[in-house]
Each structure stands twice: as C-alpha cells, then as structure tokens.
Amino acid sequence: MNHPIIAPSILSADFANLESTFHMLNESEAQWIHLDVMDGNFVPNISFGMPVIKSLRKLTRKVFDAHLMIEAPERYIHNFKLIGVDVLTVHYETQTHLNRTVDLTKKIGMKAGVALNPHTPVSLLKDIISELDLVLIMSVNPGFSGQKFIENTYNKIAEAKEMILAHNSKAMIQVDGGVNAGNAPKILEAGADVLVAASYIFHHDNPIEAIKQLKYPKIL
C-alpha cells in the first residue's frame, strides 16, 4: 500500500491560535493543508475566506488545498490563485459549465478538483475525468466537521478508481469526512490517495501522532 497524502482540515483547529497550529503542521508529515471555504448558502455553515487564507499562506510552504463549498465558485478562481492556493476543488452540484471552470483553474496554474456530495453519483464525472487532477468524494454531508463516515463511500471510491484507470486519467482520489485511523486502511484499500481529516487530528491529544497514524495506518 502506498502511503497517502495527508491533508489536515483546519476547520477543527483553534482559530485563536492558528499560528501555533501551522508551526505544528510544518513539523508534521502532512503534505497538504485543507482549506474548507463555506458561504452559508451551498452549505449551512460559514467558515473563512480569502483574507484569512492570504495571511496563512505566509506561515507555510505546504500545498494549499482549497475546497470551495460555495455557490458560483467560478467567480473567484483568479482570486484564489493570487492568494497562493495550489489545488482548487469545486462542487459538481454548483456547476453549470464544469469544463469551463476546470479549464480556467488549470490554465492559470492550479490543480483542478471536483467534489461530489454523498448523494451524487461518481458516473457523472465520466466525460471529464481525464481532465481532472483530483476527485473529492465527500464521506459526510458537507458543512460541519465531526460527522460519522458514510459506509457507501467505499463503493464510490472503488468506482472512481475504476473510472480513472479506464480513462487513463491521472486524477487522485481524495476522501473527506469522518476519516480516522480506524477506517483509513479500508479507505486506502478502496483506492483513495489523499485523506482529509479535521476532528480526528485537531481533537487528538497529539495531532502530529494522529497525522502519522493516518499516513502509516495499521492494516487490521
């Protein structure tokens, strides 16, 4: 089993101490930092936006992985590039012209991802999978951290992996929601490449150890 990319989501971090959080992340084996951007419309929560991300960019050289849970994200693609985002993921459910959004994201120098809500079929990505750098499979309904992992996610991961291989796509599979050391082996066995975790890492007594447990999971 290849070791996955770990992308801690700062949604569960202490926002009064983000600088110390980033010092910890810089010392950890996490390769990416997951940024959940919510507008209170597409999902029933509001998180943080571009000014915060711009400030945090100064604290690390790690990959900034932005997950836009917002309506009409195509309006802000250039802005996210300017503040230092490396991987930009939009939701399939927000898009009328998905190809256009993906093309623009890649054209200006970011990797392009598409996220699927738990009820959205993987098969809808068939016509664009060869253009994607990332498929984000939501294993909870988006909006809040700390939710229980949806078991059908394993089937969706396997289906996405099969589609990626069939179309010679280089897309990675990212899983977000309820990820922990207990289910990480099965998630990876199904075909995931990138694990996002929020509560499991930031509510752990030792976040650096939690990240290590996800990166080197014990096979049960």
The pLDDT value recorded for residue 196 is 97
Exposed / middle / buried, residue 60 (Cβ in 10 Å: 0-12, 13-18, 19+): middle
Query: Is 13 a domain residue?
Result: yes
Domain that holds residue 182: 5-215
Span 115-169, pLDDT tens digits? 999 999 999 999 999 999 999 999 998 756 667 899 999 999 999 999 999 999 9
In a domain, 220, yes or no: no
Cα first-last separation, the chain: 13
Residue 65 annotated as catalytic:
no
Question: Element (H or E) spanning 202, and its range?
Answer: helix 199-202
* CA-based nearest residue to 198, from 36, 84, 2: 36
Burial class (CB in 10 A: 0-12, 13-18, 19+), 184: buried
pLDDT of residue 220: 46
Write the CATH number for 10. Answer: 3.20.20.70
- 128 is a domain residue: yes
DSSP helix/strand/coil, 60:
coil
pLDDT of residue 46: 86
Q: Considering the candidates 14, 36, 39, 103, report the single residue annotated as catalytic.
A: 36
Q: pTM of this prediction?
A: 0.95
Q: What is the pLDDT of residue 145?
A: 61
Q: Is residue 71 part of a domain?
A: yes
Residue 36 is assigned to a structural domain of this protein: yes
Examine residue 175 and state whether it is found in any structural domain, yes or no. yes
**Number of independent structural domains in the chain:** 1
169, part of any domain: yes
Instruction: Collect the ranges in the chain with pLDDT lower than 70.
Output: 1, 143-146, 219-220
pLDDT at 44: 81
Q: Given 14, 86, 133, 176, which residue is catalytic?
A: 176
Is the CB of residue 215 less than 8 Å from the CB of residue 193? no
Q: Say whether 36 is catalytic.
A: yes
Q: Is residue 61 part of a domain?
A: yes
